[in-house]
């Protein structure tokens, strides 16, 4: 079976490629490399001993997509390609809607032309918005996330529902990721943010490797156990396996039509201070930090109800917080400057 992976050179995409190739899937990667390096793909090839069919291109380039579908026998599409900096999305909303929403529409149109009906979408816990209580369950209504990034994720989920209503052959899975962290246990692929990291773990590992002086902990007076924000962190390899579970599920449910959403999280809430303590325990390093003002748009606490993915797709996050920290650190210490 041939799987088209848009954004496959990125953080989650590259880890998913390892799992897909290990499971015997053929992959075609389509990525414009706006936030990734082709080196990630070379490393995936080395790790798996398999060759990747890579096409450099933009999901908004409809001619290039038509050509891609015409020259290959693609059965399923996993759509990772997107811009993902939440803060930046508030500064350049049009760029985010253009890339993430219009890009998804172009891809869905190219799929429709080519008669490809199987779609796995990279959604986010952010679609639950601010009003839903945790743990988030898939039966909750989609919320109204405050950022253009989050609003775009909701829009694409809605587009998928409408597309499925209009096209009785369409089959889609929306995977709502919680907070992926860590890296492949080899330390050869991992998260390689450009500039100052927005996300917690890359910032911590850059403090540990000496690239940043100290971590700013955003807010210390939330109504959580220790006053800092709580999230549901999961190992990126567990998340990657969640994509294989989704592909396998679609492949083994030929009569399924429509859209099914799944939370991909552990079901456990962990605070920022717990993350720091756990990184220090796993690596015996000290992380200098200071509690500062809350970050605009941050929710105090959210985590998943992860039962549906377990009951329906037989997927469960298996790796421990220690493994997440050890693997994140192995990647950062082996590659202090990422892929460059
Ligand atoms: P990433 O930036 O590492 O990967 C995205 C990839 O898409 C990059 O390789 C980039 O070059 C490519 N890309 C971007 N725009 C493109 C375009 N127009 N055409 C072709 N390629 C394009 O990000 P990631 O962390 O791997 O995230 C993957 C997906 O998961 C995104 O859709 C993101 O919104 C979603 N997501 C990520 C997280 C997270 O915490 N990392 C959480 C929830 C959802
Ligand atoms: C953010 C996005 C979410 C997106 C995800 C992955 C927001 C509100 N949410 O999730 O939509 O899917 O990134 O891109 O931006 N923290 C610090 N110091 C730091 C960095 C983070 O204290 O330097 C804290 C944050 O306040 C948060 C936690 O660490 O409580 C995790 O932050 P982060 O990794 O940015 O993820 P989210 O904010 O949960």
Averages of pLDDT over runs of 10 residues in the chain (340 residues) are: 98 98 98 97 98 98 98 98 94 97 98 98 97 97 95 98 97 98 98 93 95 97 97 98 98 97 98 98 96 94 98 98 97 94
CA gap 212, 198 in Å, rounded: 13
Query: Does the annotation mark 149 as catalytic?
Result: yes
Between strands 2-6 and 76-79, the pairing is parallel
Length of the chain: 340
Choose the residue to mutate in 8, 10, 176, 299 for probing ligand 1, maximizing ligand atoms within 8 Å of C-beta.
10
The Å distance, Cα 44 to ligand 2 centre, comes to 27
Probe ligand 2: pick from 123, 152, 200, max atoms within 8 Å of CB? 200
- Asked if residue 304 lies in contact with residue 126, where contact means CB atoms within 8 angstroms, the answer is no
Q: Which of 73, 68, 79, 131 is nearest to 101 (CA)?
A: 79
pLDDT of res. 163: 98
What does the pLDDT read at residue 249? 98
**Does the model's pTM come out above 0.95?**
yes
pLDDT of residue 334: 95
Ligand 1 pocket member 173 (CB < 6 A): no
- Encoding tokens for residue 297? 């748009």
pLDDT score, position 189: 98
Our answer on whether the CB atom of 178 is closer than 6 Å to any ligand 2 atom is no
- Cα separation, 267 vs 318, in Å, equals 11
């Amino acid at each position: 079976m041939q799987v088209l992976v848009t954004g496959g050179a990125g953080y989650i995409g590259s880890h998913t490629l390892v799992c897909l190739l290990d499971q015997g899937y053929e992959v075609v990667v389509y990525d414009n490399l706006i936030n990734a390096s082709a080196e990630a793909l070379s490393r995936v090839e080395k790790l798996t001993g398999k060759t990747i069919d890579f096409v450099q291109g933009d999901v908004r380039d409809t001619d290039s997509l038509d050509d891609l579908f015409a020259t290959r026998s693609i059965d399923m599409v996993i759509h990772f390609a997107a811009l993902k900096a939440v803060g930046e999305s508030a500064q350049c909303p049009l760029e985010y809607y253009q890339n993430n929403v219009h890009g998804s529409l172009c891809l869905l149109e190219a799929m429709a032309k080519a008669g490809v009906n199987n779609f796995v979408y990279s959604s986010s816990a952010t679609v639950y918005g601010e009003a839903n209580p945790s743990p988030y369950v898939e039966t909750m209504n989609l919320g109204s996330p405050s950022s253009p990034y989050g609003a775009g994720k909701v829009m694409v989920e809605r587009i998928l529902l409408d597309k499925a209503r209009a096209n009785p052959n369409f089959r889609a899975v929306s995977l709502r990721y919680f907070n992926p962290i860590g890296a492949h246990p080899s330390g050869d692929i991992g998260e390689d943010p450009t500039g100052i990291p927005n996300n917690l773990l890359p910032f911590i590992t850059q403090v540990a490797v000496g690239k940043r002086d100290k971590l700013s902990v955003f807010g210390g007076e939330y109504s959580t156990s220790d006053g800092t924000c709580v999230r549901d962190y999961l190992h990126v390899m567990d998340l990657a396996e969640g994509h294989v579970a989704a592909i396998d599920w679609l492949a083994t449910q030929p009569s399924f039509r429509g859209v099914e959403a799944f939370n991909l999280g552990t079901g456990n809430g962990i605070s920022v201070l717990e993350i720091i303590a756990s990184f220090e325990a796993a690596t015996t390093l000290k992380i200098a930090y200071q509690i500062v003002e809350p970050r605009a748009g941050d929710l105090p606490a959210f985590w998943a109800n992860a039962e549906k993915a377990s009951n329906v797709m037989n997927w469960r996050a298996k790796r421990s917080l220690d493994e997440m920290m050890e693997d994140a650190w192995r990647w950062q210490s082996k590659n202090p400057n990422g892929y460059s």
